[in-house]
């Protein structure tokens, strides 16, 4: 039979608790951060009278959502100060995916490493405006976690609004 000394048992338990504390603290902070972001998005949705039918959030830092009925796109980048873009899709004249890459030599082969992924949206209105929606920045994150398919999805989703808007803008110009 195995005999465990009480002193060894206490020391082991203390070490396990001390080792676990940073993980528990990090998990709590992360949970509070996510909860506050969800609360912020719920308030934004209710205060703007929006109902998001398509949404994506990633890296606990970004959110994009669209209300197809009201034709409003909302993009939020969470940080010390939240960056919020509300875009009227009826005024969108161009949607373009900007992919910045750097060529890197690895074992004699040239590979392109993604530096940033941005969705560029041009808006026609009282003044022409361009919104740059960041999906990935290599200076903030060391790896890409599926942002390329995500930004391609949103570019494809927003392209039909661009076509409608371009024909409306052309009609307004010719009248």
In tens, the pLDDT along 63-106 reads 999 999 999 999 999 988 889 999 998 889 999 999 999 998 88
Q: What is d(CA 54, CA 157) in angstroms, rounded to the nearest whole number?
A: 10
**pTM greater than the 0.75 cutoff:** yes
Residue with tokens 């039918």: 53
DSSP lists the bridge partners of residue 148 as none
pLDDT by residue for the chain (175 residues), tens digit each?
577 788 888 999 999 999 999 999 999 999 998 999 999 999 988 888 999 999 999 998 999 999 999 999 999 999 888 899 999 988 899 999 999 999 988 888 888 889 999 999 998 876 788 999 999 999 998 888 889 999 999 999 999 888 544 445 454 444 4
């Amino acid at each position: 039979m195995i005999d465990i000394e009480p002193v060894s048992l206490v020391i082991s338990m203390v070490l396990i608790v001390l080792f676990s504390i940073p993980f528990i603290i990090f998990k709590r902070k992360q949970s509070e951060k996510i909860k506050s972001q969800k609360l912020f998005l719920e308030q934004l949705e209710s205060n703007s009278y929006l109902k998001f039918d398509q949404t994506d959030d990633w890296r606990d830092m970004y959110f994009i959502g669209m209300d197809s009925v009201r034709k409003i796109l909302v993009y939020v980048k969470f940080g010390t100060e939240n960056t919020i873009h509300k875009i009227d899709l009826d005024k969108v004249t161009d949607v373009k995916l900007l992919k910045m890459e750097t060529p890197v030599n690895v074992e004699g082969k040239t590979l392109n490493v993604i530096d940033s992924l941005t969705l560029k949206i041009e808006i026609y209105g009282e003044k022409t405006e361009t919104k740059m929606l960041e999906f990935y920045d290599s200076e903030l994150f060391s790896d890409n976690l599926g942002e390329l398919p995500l930004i391609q999805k949103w570019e494809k989703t927003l392209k039909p609004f661009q076509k409608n808007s371009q024909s409306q803008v052309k009609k307004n110009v010719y009248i």
